[in-house]
Amino acid sequence: MLTLPQESVCSPSAAQPLDVPMLRPPEAASPRACAEPPAARRRPLLARCFRIASARRGGGSAAAFRSAVLGVCRGFILLYKLFAAIMRLVILEDYDQASEWAAKYICNRIIQFKPTQGRYFTLGLPTGSTPLGCYKKLIEYHKNGDLSFKYVKTFNMDEYVGLPRNHPESYHSYMWNNFFKHIDIDPNNAHILDGNAPDLQVECDAFEKKIEEAGGIDLFVGGIGPDGHIAFNEPGSSLSSRTRLKTLAMDTILANAKYFDGDLSKVPTMALTVGVGTVMDAREVMILITGAHKAFALYKAIEEGVNHMWTVSAFQQHPRTIFVCDEDATLELRVKTVKYFKGLMHVHNKLVDPLYSMKEN
Amino acid sequence: MPSNKSVSDAPIAQFTNCRLLRGRRLQREDLWVREGKILNPEKLFFDEKGSADVQLDCKGCILAPGFIDVQINGGFGVDFSLATDDFRSGIDLVAQKILSHGVTSFCPTLVTSPPSVYHQILPQISVRNGGAHGAGILGAHLEGPFISKEKKGAHPEHCIRTFEENGFQDLLATYGSLDCIRIVTLAPEIKRSSEVIQELTKRGICVSLGHSVANLSQAEEAVQHGATFITHLFNAMLPFHHRDPGIVGLLTSDKIPAGRRVFYGMISDGIHTNPAALRIAHRAHPKGMVLVTDAIAGMGLAPGRHTLGQQVVEIDGLNTYIAGTKTLSGSVATMDTCVRHFLEATGCSVETALEAASLHPAQLLGIEDRKGTLNYDSDADFLMLDDSLHVQATYIAGEEVWRQDALGM
């Protein structure tokens, strides 16, 4: 794994650091470029283009100037692509590979952001069986010393109402056992809705405020229900909803029964959840969808229109969404869709390769 | 990471990279300790927003609750049944030395002795917490003098008594005071034993059956009146017979009151019981097995002659006999040796072997809410063991009180 180079090369005026994922121009992405002495990477883009152009052309300042201008134009086009809305469907072979891809992406995003005291990376987090593999991989990167959550703030999507916080099926327990206890996050920065708060609406409003105070969410990671819901925004939820109390749909209760010994009467019927609008406010959204049982929901989410009966479909209108799925989850998509996005995998893979590390080289 | 504890400012230690014995199995979890108790890290994280001040790498060790020895007569030259001037320092010495065997709490045991010995010694035994000074004392175990003459074993016959005349008053007169008595071993066939057992049980003292020729129904009656323990099963009692299993039959008796469990102590040193007998008992009633050492003064010392109360005993390897006879008298095995031998002889799981020396004695004494487990809010008395159950370090109340020297001394 390589550490992040000193300066983001793609920014012609490095006035403010780009905190969006970038497709690196070929010059910078190659290991050869990263092996250059540090001084070379600090030179402005224009001068560098001049130098490369001169080296190629072997002299002739007019030709060099043309090449330099072309290089700058390439940079602007890239910039446009970067700031333009983008939807990715990343298809991996199986659950493990999908989990790993997602974890690598999150890892790279955090590291490229260079979070510090006073400038935290904010992450929205899901629960359920889908993200478990991703959490395991993130823990692995942390234990290897490649990733730290010291300057990361997290906001979970939802929590059951009325379930004691230390109940083994509460989302507090889930997050503690599957993630928080293995990493170095500051407990003050791990936010989960309190389903036992005395006033639930006040709790929801306070949560929204906390997100706002944290500067909004940089990357919201979510899953999808078999009924196409995001968080607990059940079919029929308003697509501009905010954090609130929701009654769970029967599909959701049935899907969750497996965590309560198959006894439907033990499954909580209400939950606090971030709204569709809350997640739409995030600067970037990543939805994890694995397994054949989610295939129909994925089809409805991306091949049909935006519809409040399939609330994940709202993200068709989000400027920056990535759907990460495995082969089984694509079973209800058109062959054409799947082939198109699979064909883009070499582009998608540049987002996770090279995989960065916080270790010093 | 700065910790922000609203409940307490005491430092929090996190023991990582270990396998904990919790929930009856070994789990890959970290052990969190604060103020001598085991802490719930999830509660710390969400309620107090706290985190660890110190992290200690256990290097893959097994973390088990400290062993509890409910039958130990002495060791390292100290005999708990001998009233000497420096009795207190003797008990302190043993308490300190057994830390290296993994024992964090024990019941100093007195064999059958004359009343004067009890009157002199018992006031010098006090229930106290363990620490760097040594293992904690839970109270005395009085093995006798109300036992059967036929099954006296190594106990002096002239000191054996009964309470047929005045029942409980006789017992009180013999012992002097009941403060700090935790367990009494007696023979239930002695007349008026039922009332004595009831009186003792009422006062929270555990009654054990041993050195007895009781048959099964006498034993069952004793259990119904409150007895919950059997002292060194098989030894000093009638042998198992298929038409009258005797005290041994309690392991599978159907006359045990509901909600109660009969525990039985076994000296698994390979000498006091044949491994096959150990296995029979374990398989018949695995949840009742309590490992004890029944160690005598010679434990930890070179072979030769030592005292045991009013007798002289001879040590030869792991065997201890009354001098000049073939009567077994106590053992020189250490608790960790017993645990390892038990594991090997029964082929049981590591968890079962560890529980027989920690959880079960705690359950017997009714203290499992604070000892014998690594549950949250329990006392942080625990051991670091390697895979073959050799003690690497002993902790009491979260503080390291003994560590295996690298040179293996």
Residue A187 to residue B41, Cβ atoms within 8 A: no
For residue A348, pLDDT over 60 is answered with yes
pLDDT higher at A46 or A37:
A46
Residue B42 to residue A190, Cβ atoms within 8 A: no
Domains, chain A, with CATH or none: 90-351 (3.40.50.1360)
Q: How confident is the model at residue A41 (pLDDT cuts 50, 70, 90)?
A: very low
Residues of chain A whose beta carbon is less than 8 angstroms from a beta carbon of chain B are: 150, 165-166, 172-173, 176-177, 180-181, 184, 186-188, 190, 192
How far apart (Å, rounded) are the C-alpha atoms in residues B335 and A24? 65
Which residue of chain B has the CA closest to A167? B42
Mean pLDDT estimate for chain B: 92
Does the beta carbon of B45 lie under 8 angstroms from any beta carbon of chain A?
yes
Note the Cα B350 to chain centre separation in Å: 18
How far apart (Å, rounded) are the C-alpha atoms in residues B232 and B69? 12
Tokens of B194: 């039922």
For residue A228, pLDDT over 50 is answered with yes
Catalytic pick from A208, A218, A234, A326?
A234
Contacts of B51 in chain A (CB under 8 A): 186-187
How far apart (Å, rounded) are the C-alpha atoms in residues B234 and B247? 8
Omega within 30 of 0 (cis) for the link into B145: yes
Over residues B166-187, the mean pLDDT reads: 94
User: Which residue out of A117, A188, A189, A192 would a mutagenesis test of the B interface target, given it has the greatest number of B Cβ atoms within 10 Å?
Assistant: A188
pLDDT tens track for A108-141: 999 999 999 999 999 999 999 999 999 999 999 9
Under 8 Å CB pairs connecting chains A and B tally to: 33
CATH superfamily name and code, B66-365: Metal-dependent hydrolases (3.20.20.140)
Q: How confident is the model at residue A259 (pLDDT cuts 50, 70, 90)?
A: confident
Query: Of A57-61, A247-251, B134-138, B344-348, which range is least confident?
Result: A57-61
Residue B45 to residue A176, Cβ atoms within 8 A: yes
Cα→Cα distances B29→A179, A182, B15, B25, B41, Å: 13, 10, 9, 11, 11
How far apart (Å, rounded) are the C-alpha atoms in residues A142 and A217? 21
Q: How confident is the model at residue A86 (pLDDT cuts 50, 70, 90)?
A: confident
How far apart (Å, rounded) are the C-alpha atoms in residues B52 and B262? 41
B222: closest CA among B202, B245, B192?
Answer: B192
The beta-strand segments (E) located in A165-294 are 190-191, 219-222, 244-247, 270-273, 285-289
Query: Of A83-87, A340-344, B68-72, B142-146, which range is least confident?
Result: A83-87
Torsions phi, psi for B142 (to 5 deg)? -100, 105
Q: What is the 3-state secondary structure (H, E, C) of chain B?
A: CCCCCCCCCCCEEEEECCEEEECCEEECCCEEEECCEECCHHHHHHCCCCCCCEEEECCCCEEEECEEEEEECEECCEECCCCCCCHHHHHHHHHHHHHHHCEEEEEEEECCCCHHHHHHHHHHCCCECCECCECEECCEEEECCCCCCCCCCCCCHHHCCCCCCCCHHHHHHHHCCCCCEEEEEECCCCCCHHHHHHHHHHCCCEEEECCECCCHHHHHHHHHHCCCEECCCCCCECCCCCCCCHHHHHHHCCCCCCCCCCEEEECCCCCCCCHHHHHHHHHHCHHHEEECCCECCCCCCCCEEEEECCEEEEEECCEEEECCCCCECCECCCHHHHHHHHHHHHCCCHHHHHHHHCHHHHHHCCCCCCCCCCCCCCECCEEEECCCCCEEEEEECCEEEEECCCCCC
For residue B43, pLDDT over 60 is answered with yes
Catalytic pick from A100, A158, A159, A284?
A158
- H-run or E-run covering A67: helix A61-83
pLDDT higher at A125 or A74:
A125
In this prediction, residue B377 carries a pLDDT of 95
pLDDT higher at A251 or B385:
B385
User: Which residue out of B18, B20, B39, B46 would a mutagenesis test of the A interface target, given it has the greatest number of A Cβ atoms within 10 Å?
Assistant: B46
Residue A181 to residue B1, Cβ atoms within 8 A: no
For residue A12, pLDDT over 70 is answered with no
- What percent of the residues of chain A are helix, what percent strand, and what percent coil, each to the nearest 5? 45, 15, 40
B148 annotated as ligand-binding: no
For residue A7, pLDDT over 90 is answered with no
Is residue A281 annotated as a catalytic residue, yes or no? no
Distance from CA of B303 to the nearest CA of A (A): 51
Over residues B5-28, the mean pLDDT reads: 89
What percent of chain B shows pLDDT beyond 90?
Answer: 83
Pair A301, A310: CB distance under 8 Å: yes
Cα→Cα distances B296→A77, B73, B314, Å: 88, 5, 11
According to DSSP, the residues that pair with B27 across neighbouring strands are B20
Cα–Cα–Cα angle for B363, B364, B366, rounded to 5 degrees: 60
For residue A220, pLDDT over 60 is answered with yes
Over residues B62-74, the mean pLDDT reads: 97
In this prediction, residue A361 carries a pLDDT of 47
Q: How confident is the model at residue B301 (pLDDT cuts 50, 70, 90)?
A: confident
Strand order in the sheet with A244-247: A158-160, A270-273, A244-247
At A129 the three-state DSSP class reads: coil
Pair B31, B69: CB distance under 8 Å: no
The beta-strand segments (E) located in chain A are 86-92, 121-125, 152-156, 158-160, 190-191, 219-222, 244-247, 270-273, 285-289, 320-326
B330 annotated as ligand-binding: yes
Contacts of B41 in chain A (CB under 8 A): 176, 181
B77 annotated as ligand-binding: no
Q: How confident is the model at residue A80 (pLDDT cuts 50, 70, 90)?
A: low
Omega within 30 of 0 (cis) for the link into A354: yes
Over residues A252-277, the mean pLDDT reads: 91
B188: closest CA among B160, B147, B141?
Answer: B147
Complex confidence, ipTM: 0.81
Over residues B150-155, the mean pLDDT reads: 90
Over residues A267-290, the mean pLDDT reads: 96
Domain B12-64+373-403 has CATH 2.30.40.10: yes
In this prediction, residue A251 carries a pLDDT of 84
Pair A172, B46: CB distance under 8 Å: yes
Over residues B258-264, the mean pLDDT reads: 95
Q: How confident is the model at residue A82 (pLDDT cuts 50, 70, 90)?
A: low
Other residues' Cβ atoms within 10 Å of the Cβ of residue B253? 17
Does the beta carbon of B253 lie under 8 angstroms from any beta carbon of chain A?
no
Which residue of chain A has the CA closest to B32? A181
Catalytic residues of B: 294
B6 annotated as ligand-binding: no
How far apart (Å, rounded) are the C-alpha atoms in residues A318 and A298? 16
B294: closest CA among B233, B212, B247, B237?
Answer: B233
For residue A33, pLDDT over 60 is answered with no
In this prediction, residue B140 carries a pLDDT of 97
How far apart (Å, rounded) are the C-alpha atoms in residues B289 and B293? 13
B4 annotated as ligand-binding: no
User: Which residue out of B12, B42, B47 would a mutagenesis test of the A interface target, given it has the greatest number of A Cβ atoms within 10 Å?
Assistant: B42
pLDDT tens track for A138-193: 999 999 999 999 999 999 999 999 999 999 999 999 999 999 999 999 999 999 99
How far apart (Å, rounded) are the C-alpha atoms in residues B6 and B293? 44
In this prediction, residue A48 carries a pLDDT of 62
Does the beta carbon of B88 lie under 8 angstroms from any beta carbon of chain A?
no
Distance from CA of A122 to the nearest CA of B (A): 18
Of the candidates A166, A172, A188, the beta carbon closest to that of B4 is on A188
In this prediction, residue A26 carries a pLDDT of 40
Contacts of A192 in chain B (CB under 8 A): 46
Pair A295, A226: CB distance under 8 Å: no
Tokens of B353: 């072997």
Pair A212, A239: CB distance under 8 Å: no
For residue A30, pLDDT over 80 is answered with no
Distance from CA of A190 to the nearest CA of B (A): 9
Of the candidates B43, B45, B50, the beta carbon closest to that of A180 is on B45
Helix orientation angle between B168-175 and B193-202, rounded to the nearest 10 degrees: 60
Does the beta carbon of B50 lie under 8 angstroms from any beta carbon of chain A?
yes
Q: Where are the domains of chain B?
A: 12-64+373-403, 66-365
How far apart (Å, rounded) are the C-alpha atoms in residues B213 and B148? 7
In this prediction, residue B303 carries a pLDDT of 80
Contacts of B4 in chain A (CB under 8 A): 187-188
pLDDT tens track for B204-235: 999 999 999 999 999 999 999 999 999 999 99
Q: What string of DSSP letters covers A332-350?
A: TS-HHHHHHHHTTHHHHGG
Mean pLDDT estimate for chain A: 85
Q: Roughly how many angstroms between the first and final C-alpha of chain B, as a whole number?
A: 37
Q: How confident is the model at residue B392 (pLDDT cuts 50, 70, 90)?
A: very high
Q: How confident is the model at residue B326 (pLDDT cuts 50, 70, 90)?
A: confident
What percent of chain A shows pLDDT beyond 90?
Answer: 68
pLDDT higher at A156 or A86:
A156
In this prediction, residue A354 carries a pLDDT of 93
